[in-house]
Amino acid sequence: MKATFHGHACFVLERDGKRVIIDPFLTGNPAAVVGPDKLPHLDAILLTHGHGDHLGDAVALSQKHRATIVATYELAQFCADQGGTSHAMHIGGAHEFPFGTVKLVPAFHGGQVEGDTTGRYTTNPAGVVVTMGGKTVYHTGDTALTLEMQLLAGPPRVDLMLVPIGDNYTMGVADAARAVEFVKPKSVIPMHYNTWDIIKADPAEFRRLVGSTSAVTILKPGESFTLS
């Protein structure tokens, strides 16, 4: 599996000719090096929550690629009502798709949906565990450190964990390193930092704190990591 970082919390995962994007915040993302029009064909769009810096271009990409948006029930309904194609799930549930399996797990954050003027779509944020071709990636979404993360320690072991380190809105460096201790993934990539000054963080310090628990890879927007 190849994971390509597109800034903030946006990743594209590719395996066996299938391609999914997680939290497609590209338009208006100061860290992104590509726009939504430059992405290759997408099979699905996975959302952790409805804040604008995660929901991003989801509906437009769904329409362009005829890609299914996978999200919690209320957020999936919002996307469908905006003209996207969606598949609704909820925390603790898993579903097998043509590209692989998705399971939603707890995340502690806000549930407001960007663009919802009624408040009726407000939902729970989630972490996304996606398995493609035998490789499992855990995108924590925006979250605090939670004891529930220990339930993901396996077996089977998570191959790649994508974890926020920017503090203020999510875990900071120290809590993120503790989260890695809880999950014990084979590899980890820090995210959700340095997009704006308020979430400025040092990924090298994160790597130091993680130590030998997991292999830390620091990506710049546009760079990829391949799980062997």
The closest alpha carbon to 133, from 20, 219, 211, belongs to 20
C-beta of residue 38 within 8 angstroms of C-beta of residue 21? no
Q: What are the tens digits of pLDDT across the range 152-167?
A: 998 999 999 999 999 9
Please state the pTM of the whole predicted model: 0.98
pLDDT of residue 109: 98
SS3 205: helix
Measured CA angle at 7 (ends 163, 12), to 5 deg: 80
Count the alpha carbons within 13 Å of 117 in the hemisphere toward its beta carbon.
1
Q: What are the tens digits of pLDDT across the range 83-124?
A: 999 999 999 999 999 999 999 999 999 999 999 999 999 999
Q: What are the tens digits of pLDDT across the range 27-64?
A: 999 999 999 999 999 999 999 999 999 999 999 999 99
**Residue spans of alpha helices (H) in the chain:** 52-55, 58-65, 73-81, 173-183, 203-210
The closest alpha carbon to 46, from 77, 17, 18, 87, belongs to 87
* Domains present along the chain, CATH in parentheses: 2-218 (3.60.15.10)
C-beta of residue 114 within 8 angstroms of C-beta of residue 52? yes
Is the pLDDT confidence value at 228 over 90?
no
Number of neighbouring beta carbons within 10 Å of residue 106: 19
- Secondary structure E strands in the chain: 2-5, 11-15, 18-22, 44-46, 68-72, 85-89, 94-97, 100-106, 126-132, 135-139, 160-164, 187-191, 215-216, 224-226
